[in-house]
Amino acid sequence: MNKTDRSMFRRALCIALSALLVVTVAGIPESFAAPSGAIGDTEVPMAALDEAAADTSESANVGGGETYPDDGDYLAGVEEAALAEEERSADIDELGYIPGEIIVVYEESASDAEKQAAIDVVEGEESAAEATFEESVAVPVEISDDVTVETAAEMVKQDPAVRYALPNYTVSTYDEPSAVAQGAAAVKIDDLQARQWYIDYVKAPAAWDAIATRLPTAASAKVAVIDTGASLSHPDLANVVNRRQSAEVVHGEEKDLSSWTTKPLRGDGYVNGSAGVEEYASHGTHVSGIIAAEAGNGGTLGVASGGSTVDANNLIDLVVIDAFSKKTRDPRTGAWVANGTVYDVVYSLEYARDIGCKVVNMSLGFDVYDEELARYFEELCSELTDNDDMLIVAAAGNSGVNQKSIPASCDSVIGVISLTHRAHVSSGRNSISSATWMTGDITRSSFSNYGDWCDLSAPGESIYSTLLLNGSTDTYGYMDGTSMACPVVAAVASMVRVAAPELSAREVRDVLCKTAADLTEVRGKDDQSGWGAVDAEAALKKVLSPAAGDTTSKGDGTEPSESQAPSVQPAPPVKQPDQQAQKQPTVKPAPQAPERPATTSQGWVTVGGKWRYVGNDGAYATGWIKVKGTWYYLHGNGDMATGWLKLGKTWYYLKGSGAMATGWLKLGKTWYYLKGSGAMATGWYQVGRTWYYSNGSGAMQANRWIGNYYVKSSGAMATSQWIGRYHVNASGKWDKTR
């Protein structure tokens, strides 16, 4: 920029810095106190910038015709510029973020002009293609040389078109530098499974058998591994990785937006499209093998491989996304290791969503914990979970303390703690000697982060899996870390999605937590192990239809009580809009000719391909029954109901397993909400602290006004924000127009 432009920018910068200083020292003045996104032009302190830049009447003329604001403001601008120059010359590893660049997350409704106006205040230029989500749009922005990253983020986030502005933090893998390799030659029919203690510990073989015997046909679940890549030549991965969709995130010249793209995955250890392997990464190779290493070909096998059953190597559609576009020096070993950024991860999540991934493994975390970053990822991951049915699993981190990690600490993400077995302690580790609790031979790994923000535990020490040695040799070896525990949980989650595709991501999460094995004296969730150790057998048996011959106690035969539903406050007063009548769910008339069972043994039986339940009186049960805590409905002839069911004026939904659905249900492109009683919700209703609205057919409404209230793309009622020209208050009601 020329001298005049730089002068005007510095003056604007000085005014902005002064405004930020006032906010910090004196508290937020009234003009700053409007809710986010609710500030009109006359109320925005930053709106004075253009006027200030144009008004030179109070400027001093300094040689060469260059103008500056008063001395105090000028010195503040010079100091900021000096700090910015120092920041740009600093080591990225020490900063923990990329200098000269911020991540801007715009409101989804922001126009191109509003976006540009928001970043003009820091002379910003978008440096990549936008990552677009239903609620927001994220993009990295190159900032002026005269402003630090922190100041730029504070300035930009004041604009009502901006949801978040934050540094482009770096991200790292969560493995410990202890890989011990073994040659891949001379192994047959998965002889190395004996070294995979975690396979039997999480009861994966029993889960494979349950799927094979109880699921007539199994459609694979698409699983994304966002990591450093994976070796495509490894004998246990070559036939497993989806090469057509696996990708490497690359970006070329700065400010060349089209250079940000995904290219076909080449392997593990490539850096940002480089011609050769620049850092000897094997993290993604190891993680991928834990999930889905090929069964039956010699070597190891994955937790979700299917073992030797008829479903072997057909349960998982594995997509590997190399999100680590940079490299850095590991301070512990001095070796080059993979490194990525906020935008690498966001871009990868967008790609995983676009290709329909239902489980995402993220054995990674950001190098800092920042509240703004946490809020953004909380929002982003919730959207992907609820709107795109994506179950995200992330590693808790390896600092060995109760310290939150992003994204593992997000409410909608399954955060995973690492476990250690007494017989499988890695050399040099003190997991057993330093343990504060033991359950049999199991305890939390000494390196693992923990806390009430974590959800599940899984083996993560002495984990034997696929390796790529020195960037060129396919082999096997041990690695430690929550990075290794994370894919164990992701693999089990994937098998649940195969067995019960009608379950939402949140319902799958609920199944995993409720079937986990308690590890400590605290019943239920605790800060040392979350809900406990993931249990593949228990999870799969919970969601699969009961096998013939299974016996259980007869339910009480009563209809579930409406009192089980969450308490709902009176709905906001609203005039119901005129809308075209929508077709109600349909259900076939139930046959009404009861028969006597051929057996008097209590439990589930199949008759003509239909499930029935024999009660303790020897007759087929009818109506509502509760078996092992789950409600089923049996027609008059005893056949188990599935799909939509209307009883009186109330609709219910029975899953493919016959289990009554509760909570959120997505059928096709439509969301429904089933109360705790199973009854389909219509009109206004509250889930947690959030209001939603479903029409008479039960379809959740989105992106529309309901009377004086607005429901967003997620279906949630908007509060305290602007919707275009209209503002809604804290109760969600429209209260003003701009």
Q: How far is CA 387 from the centre of its chain?
A: 12
Least confident of 154-163, 429-438, 562-571: 562-571
Structure tokens at 276: 């050769």
Q: How far is CA 687 from the centre of its chain?
A: 20
Which of 439, 486, 478 minimizes the C-alpha distance to 461? 478
Residue 210's alpha-carbon distances to 198, 207, 341, 534, 541, in angstroms, are 18, 5, 40, 16, 7
Looking at the chain, the number of H-run helices and the number of E-run strands are 14, 37
Catalytic residue among 7, 73, 136, 283: 283
Beta bridge partners of 604: 613
> 568 or 712: whose pLDDT is higher?
712
Structure tokens at 624: 């509502």
Q: Using the predicted structure, report yes or no on whether residue 548 has a pLDDT greater than 60.
A: no
> 134 or 210: whose pLDDT is higher?
210
ω into residue 407 within 30 of 0, thus cis?
yes
Structure tokens at 164: 């978040």
Domain 90-169 and domain 192-542 have a common topology: no
Please answer whether residues 137 and 112 qualify as being in contact, where contact means their C-beta atoms are separated by less than 8 angstroms. no
Digit-coded pLDDT (tens) for 666-683: 888 889 999 989 999 999
Please tell me which of 336-345, 546-555, 640-649 the model is most confident about, judged by mean pLDDT: 640-649
Burial call 61-93: b when 16+ CB within 10 Å, e when fewer: eeeeeebbbeeebbebbeebbeebeebeeeeee
Q: Using the predicted structure, report yes or no on whether residue 567 has a pLDDT greater than 60.
A: no
Half-sphere exposure of residue 25: CA atoms within 13 angstroms, side-chain side: 6
Per-residue pLDDT band for 610 (boundaries 50, 70, 90) equals confident
Beta strands in 445-579 (DSSP E): 456-459, 463-469, 473-480
Mean pLDDT, residues 16-24? 50
pLDDT at 184 (0 to 100) = 41
Distance CA 493, CA 508 (A): 7
Digit-coded pLDDT (tens) for 264-314: 898 887 776 666 666 667 899 999 999 999 999 988 999 999 999 999 999
Q: Using the predicted structure, report yes or no on whether residue 390 has a pLDDT greater than 80.
A: yes
Least confident of 149-163, 583-597, 625-639: 583-597
Q: How much of the chain exceeds pLDDT 70, in percent?
A: 76
Q: Using the predicted structure, report yes or no on whether residue 32 has a pLDDT greater than 80.
A: no
For 342, the 3-state DSSP assignment is helix
Digit-coded pLDDT (tens) for 80-91: 889 999 999 988
pLDDT at 28 (0 to 100) = 37
pLDDT at 496 (0 to 100) = 96
Please answer whether residues 456 and 532 qualify as being in contact, where contact means their C-beta atoms are separated by less than 8 angstroms. yes
Judged by phi (left if over 0) then psi (alpha if -120 to 50, else beta), residue 356 lies in left
Q: Does domain 192-542 have CATH number 3.40.50.200?
A: yes
283 included as an active-site residue: yes
Q: Using the predicted structure, report yes or no on whether residue 155 has a pLDDT greater than 70.
A: yes
Q: Which amino acid, 581?
A: A
Q: Using the predicted structure, report yes or no on whether residue 564 has a pLDDT greater than 50.
A: no
3-state helix, strand, coil in the chain (%, to 5): 25, 30, 45
Q: How much of the chain exceeds pLDDT 90, in percent?
A: 53
Please answer whether residues 498 and 318 qualify as being in contact, where contact means their C-beta atoms are separated by less than 8 angstroms. no
Distance CA 155, CA 17 (A): 8
HEC assignment per residue over 232-265: CCCCCCCCCECCCCCEEEECCCCCCHHHCEEEEC
Per-residue pLDDT band for 493 (boundaries 50, 70, 90) equals very high
Digit-coded pLDDT (tens) for 708-723: 899 998 899 999 998 8
Count CB atoms within 10 A of the CB of residue 574: 16
Q: Using the predicted structure, report yes or no on whether residue 102 has a pLDDT greater than 70.
A: yes
* Beta strands 221-227; 316-322: pairing state: parallel
According to CATH, the topology of domain 601-661 is: left handed beta-beta-3-solenoid (2.10.270)
Count CB atoms within 10 A of the CB of residue 556: 9
Per-residue pLDDT band for 442 (boundaries 50, 70, 90) equals very high
Distance CA 647, CA 523 (A): 38
pLDDT at 52 (0 to 100) = 37
| Count of positions (residues) in the chain | 738
Q: Which amino acid, 544?
A: L
DSSP sequence for 143-187? --TTS-HHHHHHHHTTSTTEEEEEEEEEEEE--EEEEEEE--SS-
Least confident of 207-211, 414-418, 533-537, 541-545: 541-545
For CA atoms 707, 712, 714, 718, the dihedral sign is: negative
Mean pLDDT, residues 394-398? 97
Catalytic residue among 220, 288, 445, 483: 483
Domain spans of the chain, in order of start: 90-169, 192-542, 601-661, 665-737
483 included as an active-site residue: yes
Q: Using the predicted structure, report yes or no on whether residue 491 has a pLDDT greater than 70.
A: yes
pLDDT at 606 (0 to 100) = 85
Q: Which amino acid, 155?
A: M
Q: Using the predicted structure, report yes or no on whether residue 36 has a pLDDT greater than 60.
A: no
Catalytic residue among 73, 227, 268, 389: 227
Mean pLDDT, residues 60-71? 43
Structure tokens at 720: 């305290």
Burial of 725: CB neighbours in 10 Å, binned 0-12, 13-18, 19+: exposed
pLDDT at 568 (0 to 100) = 32
What is the signed CA dihedral for 256, 258, 260, 263, rounded to 10 degrees?
A: -140
Q: Using the predicted structure, report yes or no on whether residue 391 has a pLDDT greater than 80.
A: yes
DSSP sequence for 373-387? HHHHHHHHHHHHHHH
Q: Which residue has the tokens 């041990």?
A: 478
Residues whose CB is less than 8 angstroms from the CB of residue 428 and which lie 6 or more positions away in sequence, other chains included: 178
Contacts of the segment 429-437: beta carbons below 8 A, 24+ positions apart: 429/461, 429/480, 431/461, 436/528, 437/519, 437/520, 437/521, 437/528
Distance CA 324, CA 710 (A): 39
Digit-coded pLDDT (tens) for 370-387: 999 999 999 999 999 998
Q: Which residue has the tokens 């804290």?
A: 730
According to CATH, the topology of domain 665-737 is: left handed beta-beta-3-solenoid (2.10.270)
Residues whose CB is less than 8 angstroms from the CB of residue 571 and which lie 6 or more positions away in sequence, other chains included: 683, 684, 685, 691
pLDDT at 736 (0 to 100) = 87
Beta strands in 310-432 (DSSP E): 316-322, 326-329, 336-341, 359-362, 364-366, 391-395, 413-421
Mean pLDDT, residues 170-177? 82
Rg, C-alpha atoms of the chain: 29
> 187 or 498: whose pLDDT is higher?
498
According to CATH, the topology of domain 90-169 is: Alpha-Beta Plaits (3.30.70)
Query: Mean pLDDT for the chain?
Result: 80
Structure tokens at 534: 């993931």
